[in-house]
Amino acid sequence: MKVIGVNASPKGKDSNTLKLVNAVLEGAKEEGAETEYIDLYTLRIEYCTACGTCYATGECTLLDDFSDIFDRMMNAEGIVLGAPNYIDCVPAPMKALFDRMADAIHCQMLTGKFGCSVCTAGGSGEYEVVGYMNKVLSTLGTNIVGGVGVAIGRDPTALGKAEENARALGKSLARSIRGELTYPDQDEVHRQKREYFCQLVKYNKDRFAHEYDWYVQMGWMK
């Protein structure tokens, strides 16, 4: 059971968001998970050029750290996303990561995984960002366990309570991976989403050759 934390804060070891991500990972570790951490600000992620090569071949023409990050996410059963609030959204490296996952969305590559998100803010908007990151995970096929957001500017002591909540979230994440917590409503949403993308890929079979092969391989092509 492996859980990976992906953080998009420019503050390195001084990041308050890092404290929340680490708390989730600690909670998961207490439940027996192996954990891994990725700091997006130490890596290079180029902007998607919308060339469509990934749809056809499964490969990206851009040579940077994206493929390694995505492979590490694919090798985990649980994914934790962390970001500070940048105008009710995520910082650029996290958005660049998301934009490079169009092929993974079409193929629903994170199906069967579980995820959650954490966010720190100055004054407000923390839960808008948590909701956005969780929506991205869901769009990729992930079942969402929950999220933690905290506005430190209003109450600096709130971070401590948020870390406690994040640790509990990590425990829930591990329990979900073990099958102790189930999400039938989300499972049905994902089933319908796979059917939608299956038809999209089937209709564009000539242009989306890699994705068509993926659906056949997964046994999802109808």
- Of 135, 133, 105, 97, nearest to 117 by C-alpha is 133
**Is residue 204 one of the residues assigned to a domain?**
no
pLDDT single digits (tens) 186-209:
999 999 999 999 999 999 999 999
**What is the CB neighbour count within 10 angstroms for residue 82?**
35
| Residue 90, φ and ψ in degrees, nearest 5 | -100, 160
The pLDDT score that the predictor gives to residue 216 is 96
Give, as one character, the DSSP assignment of residue 176: H
The CA R_g of the chain, rounded to the nearest whole Å, is 17
**Does 102 have pLDDT greater than 90?**
yes
**Is residue 200 one of the residues assigned to a domain?**
no
pLDDT single digits (tens) 139-190:
999 999 999 999 998 788 999 999 999 999 999 999 999 999 999 999 999 9
**What is the CB neighbour count within 10 angstroms for residue 161?**
12
- Of 54, 79, 108, nearest to 170 by C-alpha is 79
**Is residue 135 one of the residues assigned to a domain?**
yes
Q: Cα separation of 70 and 50, whole Å?
A: 18
Confidence of residue 84 (pLDDT cuts 50, 70, 90): very high
Q: What value does the mean pLDDT take over residues 41-66?
A: 95
**Is residue 215 one of the residues assigned to a domain?**
no
Give, as one character, the DSSP assignment of residue 62: -
pLDDT single digits (tens) 112-148:
999 999 999 998 999 999 999 999 999 999 999 999 9
The more confidently predicted of residues 211 and 156 is 211
Question: How many domains is the chain built from?
Answer: 1
**Is residue 221 one of the residues assigned to a domain?**
no
Question: Tokens in use for 126?
Answer: 């923390």
The pLDDT score that the predictor gives to residue 153 is 87
**Is residue 61 one of the residues assigned to a domain?**
yes
**DSSP letter string, 53-70:** HHHHHS--S--SSHHHHH
Q: What value does the mean pLDDT take over residues 14-38?
A: 97
Q: Cα separation of 155 and 121, whole Å?
A: 11
Whether this model's pTM surpasses 0.85: yes
Write out the residue range of the structural domain in which residue 101 sits.
Answer: 2-182
The CATH number of residue 128's host domain is: 3.40.50.360
Confidence of residue 47 (pLDDT cuts 50, 70, 90): very high
**Is residue 6 one of the residues assigned to a domain?**
yes
Q: Cα separation of 181 and 173, whole Å?
A: 9
**Is residue 18 one of the residues assigned to a domain?**
yes
